[in-house]
């Protein structure tokens, strides 16, 4: 595959990660999450987790096609740092929902109105 095409595909994956991070910032601003919001976050998280394999494949192709891959290694490092940080934040938000009933965490949903339109 041509380098330009690979770079465009990589950019698309990076954009998806950025969109998920923006969504996550909105969710993190909530006091607590409703059951619906928890379910939505679970679905979005499972979809974003799928992009890593695609990114790795595309990035390997880009790295292997260049004479001096140092700049591409920096691209990989930046993506992976952001990816794993965002995944960890999302899982951290979901952790209280996985706790047994009767815990101190409320799941009734007292969230900001910014999420209600999603």
Domain boundaries, the chain: 3-96
pLDDT value, residue 108: 46
* Grouped pLDDT means (10 residues each) for the chain, 118 residues: 92 98 96 94 98 98 94 98 98 84 50 54
The 8 Å CB, 24+ separation contacts for 53-61 are 54/9, 54/13, 55/10, 55/13, 55/79, 55/83, 58/6, 58/9, 58/10, 58/13, 59/10, 61/1, 61/6
Q: Minimal CA–CA distance to 13: which of 66, 65, 49, 60? A: 49
pLDDT value, residue 107: 44
The answer to pTM > 0.85 is no
pLDDT value, residue 2: 82
pLDDT value, residue 98: 74
């Amino acid at each position: 595959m041509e380098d330009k095409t690979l770079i465009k595909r990589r950019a698309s994956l990076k954009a998806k990660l950025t969109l998920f991070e923006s969504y996550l910032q909105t969710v993190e601003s909530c006091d607590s999450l409703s059951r619906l919001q928890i379910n939505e976050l679970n679905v979005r998280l499972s979809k974003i987790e799928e992009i890593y394999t695609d990114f790795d494949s595309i990035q390997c192709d880009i790295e292997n096609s260049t004479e001096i891959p140092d700049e591409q290694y920096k691209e990989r490092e930046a993506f992976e740092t952001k990816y794993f940080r965002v995944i960890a934040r999302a899982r951290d938000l979901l952790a209280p929902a996985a706790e047994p009933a009767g815990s101190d965490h409320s799941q009734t949903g007292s969230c900001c109105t910014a999420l209600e339109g999603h």
